[in-house]
Structure 1
Amino acid sequence: MTAVSQVDVARAVERGAEALLARQRPDGAFTDDPPASVLGTAGTITALHAADPVAHADLVEGGAAWLRDRQHGDGTWGGVDGAPGEVVPTAIATAALHIVSPERGATAVTAGRAALAALGGVDAVTDRAVALMCRQFLTLAGLTAEAGALRRLPLEIVLADKVRRRLISFRTAPFVGLALMQDGLLPTGPVRRFTLRLARPAALRLVRAVYEHEGRTGALSEDPWPAALVLLGLARSGEAPDIAAAIAGWLRAAVRPEGAWDAVANLDLTRTGYATTGLVAAGYAGDPRLRAARDFLHAARTTEPFTVLDVPAGGWSFSTRRGWPVTLESAEILSALAGLPGAAEDAELRGGLEWLTGRQDTRGSWSLWVRDTKLANDGPCPAITSQAVHALLDAGRPADDPAVASAVAWLLTAQNPDGTFENLWYRDHTSGTAVVVGALARAGHGGHEVVRKAVEWLLRTQLPDGSWGPGDGTEGSVEETSWAVQALLAAGTGADAVDRGVAWLVAVATPDGGWEPTRVCNYIRHHVRYANGVVTQAVALKALGEYRAAVR
């Protein structure tokens, strides 16, 4: 491994670590400056307009002006500021402007309708639930030609909790909002009116359970888009005015200085977990600045169950202690705590490991929120499963631990024909393939045919400049290159490819020692992605740190 000098790697690690630590707050958390969200903004101004068009006129007009300004020349909108045009944000933004600003937004709406048609319309949206959401907004705006046929949501599913959790999972609150929003949009017969009278109180109890779990903030996972969907449903139906007022208040407080809203307003735990694992790999485990990060993570471990999704207390959310406990962030945080001094005596680490093993699916995989889910965007997920395996191994569990062995057995059956693996929450397919290769290799299966096939795909898709993109010829990203380097190091193969990947990472570091992020984080899979700058810095540091350790 000689493509890049160890002096250059060491300098890149040191400068990258300090650049990442410069993002740390006094409370130990790591922060970022994410781009504004078209979906979050369009949804919020529509909901605030429905809740009280006079009281919220200032923010509605400010958000509408921002949307008009961010429309691309071809009439489309991207999911977040700076992203290329996509069907989903174009449909939602077009509808929102037609609802809240029909005169001032007329030119933008006309261009948006034409762009939507050029993109193939809502029929081009592959996720049926997301397509329905687009149709519903367009129908609400009176743009029925673009909306197409709108089907009624089966609100009655809330009457069977186990079925509801497995089929709609973390989409429960926005599902209720969309279903309530359909009042007046679709006709109902006498039988349906009867079943809806039974279902509506149960649906509202679910929304109230989320509201109470979060401390009556109205934050709805601190994400403006689902918060807006729930507010819109409550405002149109006239239900739960106290919750509607809390959501409106939270949305008003969450507005950005430019008049837009974020995709997710708070990812403190996501960023802090990744930042800590990256810094640990870079040799900073004993740095006193990480004590504050550890304390922050300890304090954020959930102490109450999230009953809406039947998730027990003991894991971590992506935001705060009152958030929704989730496997992906919990696994990353457990790896972080396992790498810090005092891990052997860390009660929060031990309790978190018990929570993680208790969340394993009966098939051996892990899903994001609901065990044994049938919602494709929840699980089962090879990448999340592999992150859980990494966490268990990082914490000292042996490769023959029952949870690890069961996960490995499932992973060996989850490979795509071309050798790749899926990742529900990051861009396919380098991210998923790399993290699975790393987990299987660390668990003692580096010589398995499944790993060999995945490694061959990684080697085949490396770009001429040494980087990796998603594997389809798209230009390389820091994130995907870092994940690929980590995978090949774990598998103990592809030395030349690793050298070239590391050389590329060193070469593309910015003057301040950091790295430019790419939109690889899925918000709506296949349709909307965003960048997370802290994740970018952290995975680059981890790759370089592991490379430096391997060549010593």
Structure 2
Amino acid sequence: MTAVATGAARAATALAAARDHLLGLQTPEGWWKGELQTNVTMDAEDLLLREFLGVRTAQETAEAARWIRSQQREDGTWANFHEGPADLSTTVEAYTALRLAGDPPSAPHMRAAAAYVRGAGGVESARVFTRIWLALFGLWRWEDLPVIPPEIMFLPPWCPLNVYDWACWARQTIVPLTIVTAHRPVRPLPFGLPELRGDISGLDISGRDITGGQVARRGPRTGWDAVFAALDRALHRYERRPVAGLRRAALRRAAEWVVARQEADGSWGGIQPPWVYSLIALSLSGYGLDHPVMRAGLAGLDRFTIRENGTRRLEACQSPVWDTALAMTALLDAGLPGDHAALTRAGEWLLREEIRGPGDWMVRRPGLAPGGWAFEFDNDGYPDVDDTAEVILALRRWGRPDARPAVERGLRWMAGMACRDGGFAAFDADNTRELCLRLPFCDFGAVIDPPSADVTAHVVEALAAEGLARSPVVRGAVMWLLRAQEPDGSWFGRWGANHVYGTGAVLPALAAAGVPPGAPAVRRAVAWLEACQHPCGGWGEDMRSYRDPAWIGRGEPTASQTAWALIGLLAAGERGRAVDRGAAWLADSQRPDGTWDEPHYTGTGFPGDFFINYHLYRLVFPVSALGRYLRAREGTS
């Protein structure tokens, strides 16, 4: 038997085991959902939220504290991803939560954390959102935070810096924060945090008299930075004496806006940041804990809570629609027939998840009929282009005639969300006003939603699969992708790590759109992927590649990233040593139960700031890659 035949046999064995493991994870309702793992800020902020609202219990505190402690590293710090660098703000929030749980500052693990914080500049250097949490409890001065007044609710959509200039996730966070920062509440804790100051000389040892809080002086600001610094100073003056009637009306409108966007499961956007700030904002607006909106919001958090081995941790979000669409595609790639019972349950569940109502996306596309899918169980106000593309790809291959109306509605909505430059973003069209990035308030995470290569590629693939490869929308998107190619031949991955993800998404899209394998853009991408392959045969890219170009294409090999590279190479027509070695690495690194270990994070929330370990990625993408590899070896399409 030749080496190629032996490799194919090993790949087939690995595929069968992975397919069976994936089938075993499906719920009776038809959906799949892997854990969406992030970092301990979720758990720290949950405890702080409950403390602020007066609902924190001893059991919740003890369980969350055990989890937070378990994630602390030997140097006393916490990171935002596996084996990542220490993160100052995450460490400050984790430390504060542990103080809330009763851990004394004299404990060795607390001393180590505090020493790191002081050495990294203290709480003075933490992000704005961290300092907002401290301000809620009198541990930071509200006067030393940037201002975004609730009066922005009156800015029309055409006006710069109106709320619809922010990405949907930032928009849903900023609106409730305008309420919070206008009220400037302080609910003191029985302890201070003087040990976390960059310079603790002259502070009262109790830490309760907060008179510092000055961010380190910077050099002179110029250009837009100077403009927004002047604007922030003017807003601080206005905050000292706002126009009373206007302020009351703005607060009322902001609260009504927040309430109107609560989802059926009690969440806001199905994600943690707007959820916790909305609960705080509505509490300050007079909504009692017994109000249906507040009851639903607090109860909904239980659905995002994972309890095991005496610990308690929260998911920042949940991804059942995304996971189910990817699982369907993977199983179809593995050779399951469309009428298999698992695919039938999954397809029927996805059809029930179609969104037929309005959403914020209509601000920029008022004449577009609704359709499409969201990421979560309940996020009906915010369908997204990426999920819609993947669901369409899965449903059309599933092949049930009764899926066609939903697919066609999704196609029309998705195509209608094209941006002016031809690319596609996740949630909104033309959400690209970079002035938002200049605001002093926005020092963490992506706050706008511009087109990205991975989302655009998925749209191209879905539209081309429907016979629309020559349509103006697809041609415009392909031209966008060709312009977006990096000089090294890769593509930047907005929602996955990083250039391996982007390149692995774009190559199948270009092939589906009819770009030949010999095209220069394809050849450069193939060469880049092959150059990044590890000697062991796998691929990996560290999250630090978002900030440090030295990490682009470099990192510990992972199952998901190896699968992305294989999918891209196979789409480009590659059948040689690189794909054989990649498939062999997947077969060799598989666990006995059919899945793969993948502690490294390969999903992205905010490039450079917030990262995700999708626990199902390590399974669905290898199943797809191995299935396509074996089909290519057999010479079938």
Fold match (TM-score > 0.5): yes
2:251 and 2:511 map into 1 onto residues whose CA distance is: 50
Secondary structure at the counterpart of residue 305 of structure 2: coil
Return the offset for 1:408.
0.5
Match of 1:498 among 573, 579, 604: 579
**How do 1:501-516 and structure 2 match up within 5 A?**
501-516=582-597
Q: CA deviation at 1:413?
A: 1.3
Q: Partner amino acid for 2:426? A: L
- 8 Å CA contact 1:37, 1:81 repeated in 2: no
1:233 paired residue number = 281
Asked whether the equivalents of residues 364 and 409 of structure 1 are also in contact (C-alpha less than 8 Å), the reply is: yes
Task: Report deviation, 1:137.
Answer: 2.5
- Partner residue of 2:496 out of 413, 426, 437: 426
Q: Cα distance 1:318–1:63, how it changes in 2: closer, same or farther (>3 A)?
A: same
Match of 2:21 among 19, 22, 26: 19
**1:69 Cα deviation after fit:** 4.1
Say yes or no: does 1:521 pair with 2:603.
Answer: yes
Q: SS at 1:256's partner residue?
A: strand
2:37 and 2:615 in contact (8 A); partners too? no
- Aligned pairs, number: 540
Q: Classify the secondary structure of the residue corresponding to 2:428.
A: coil
8 Å CA contact 1:303, 1:321 repeated in 2: no
The aligned residue for residue 113 of structure 1 is 114
* Residue aligning to 1:128: none
Q: Classify the secondary structure of the residue corresponding to 1:260.
A: strand
Please list, as runs of the form range in 1=range in 2, the aligned pairs for 1:96-245 lying within 5 A after superposition. Answer: 96-98=97-99, 100-101=100-101, 104=104, 107=107, 110-119=111-120, 131-144=127-140, 149-160=144-155, 162=157, 163-182=162-181, 183-184=183-184, 188-191=239-242, 196-211=247-262, 214-215=263-264, 217-236=265-284, 238=286, 242=291, 243-245=293-295
Structure 1: segments with no counterpart, 5+ residues: 126-130
For 1:69 and 1:482, how far apart are their aligned partners in 2?
31
Contact 2:603/2:613 (<8 A) preserved = yes
In 2 relative to 1, CA 65–550 (structure 1 residues): closer, same or farther, beyond 3 Å?
closer
Cα distance between partner residues in 2 of 1:309 and 1:218: 23
Instruction: State yes or no: 1:486 paired with 2:486.
Output: no
Q: Aligned-pair distance for 1:404?
A: 1.0
Taking the aligned partners of 2:106 and 2:70, their CA distance within structure 1 comes to: 13
What runs of 5+ residues in structure 2 fail to find an aligned partner?
186-235, 434-445, 542-551
Secondary structure of the corresponding residue to residue 410 of structure 2: helix
2:314 to 246, 262, 265: 262
Q: CA RMSD in A?
A: 3.0
Which position in structure 1 is the counterpart of 2:68?
A: 67
Larger CA deviation: 530-539 vs 240-249: 240-249
Q: For the structure 1 residues 5 and 249, does the alpha-carbon distance in structure 2 shift closer, same or farther, using more than 3 Å as the test?
A: closer
Q: In the alignment, is the contact (CA less than 8 A) between 2:424 and 2:452 conserved in 1?
A: yes
The one of 428, 431, 434 equivalent to 1:373 is 431
Q: Deviations over 1:344-400 (max 9, x none)?
A: 962222221112112221221111111111275522111111011111223x22321
How far has the Cα of 1:285 moved from its partner? 3.4
> Equivalent residue of 1:383, what SS?
helix
* Equivalent residue runs for 1:297-446 within 5 Å: 297-307=350-360, 310=363, 313-320=370-377, 322-323=379-380, 324-342=382-400, 346-374=404-432, 376=446, 378-394=449-465, 396-445=466-515, 446=517
Q: Report the residue type matching 1:67 in the other structure.
A: I
**Structure-2 change in CA distance of 1:506 and 1:269 (3 Å):** same
Q: Using the alignment, how far apart are the partners of 1:231 and 1:261 within structure 2?
A: 19
Q: 1:461 to 1:154 in 2, by over 3 A?
A: farther
Does residue 89 of the first structure (1) align with residue 90 of the second (2)? yes
Deviations 1:436-482 (A, max 9, x none): 12212331224433333222221211111111111443111111111
Which amino acid in structure 2 is aligned with residue 204 of structure 1? A
Query: How far 1:190 moved relative to its partner?
Result: 2.2
Shift of 1:82: 8.5
The structure whose Rg is larger is 2
CA–CA distance in structure 1, aligned partners of residues 592 and 557 of structure 2: 19
User: Does the Cα contact within 8 Å between 1:169 and 1:309 map onto a contact in 2?
Assistant: no
Mapped to 2, the partners of 1:115 and 1:233 lie a distance apart of: 32
Cα distance 1:259–1:218, how it changes in 2: closer, same or farther (>3 A)? farther
Q: Is the 8 A contact 1:4 1:502 kept in 2?
A: no
- Counterpart of 2:49 in structure 1: which amino acid? A
Shift in Å, 1:75? 1.9
Kept after mapping to 1: 8 A contact 2:306/2:313: yes
Deviates more, 1:29-38 or 1:75-84: 75-84
